[in-house]
Amino acid sequence: MATVTDQEFRARMQALCDKFAATVPVTLDKITRALAACRADGPDGPDAAHLHELHELLHGVAGTAGTFGYGTLGQYCRNVEQQMRAVLAGQAEWPAVADQVDALLRWAARDPRAPSW
């Protein structure tokens, strides 16, 4: 039998989950804009500041999404974030990672709570 404390905890957790869910479209829009900024930097590749911004956005989702019921979104962002880290370290090519960000955004536009990508 659930205690009052359990019910209060669940209610607080649900409120946090609802709050996170409300931020998902905004965050995906920020990722979209950060990707566009990286692509707008020209043929020499993205500006380091734009790459860092995109990395940080992905990192933030990767670190919190699973806690709030978006496990696959978190895993997908973690995967792409690690690829971004390789770009930042000069160990991966930007165009391939940009394609991965595009794929992430297409998948998330369908259903960011989907159990698989």
pLDDT for position 43: 81
Q: Which fold has domain 4-110?
A: Four Helix Bundle (Hemerythrin (Met), subunit A) (1.20.120)
pLDDT for position 2: 58
Q: 3-state DSSP helix/strand/coil percent for the chain, to nearest 5?
A: 80, 0, 20
Q: What pTM value is reported for the model? A: 0.90
Cα–Cα distance for residue pair 64/96, rounded to 1 Å: 25
To the nearest whole number, what is the mean pLDDT of the chain? 93
User: Quick count: other Cβ atoms within 10 Å of Cβ 94?
Assistant: 17
pLDDT for position 45: 86
% of the chain with per-residue pLDDT over 90: 84
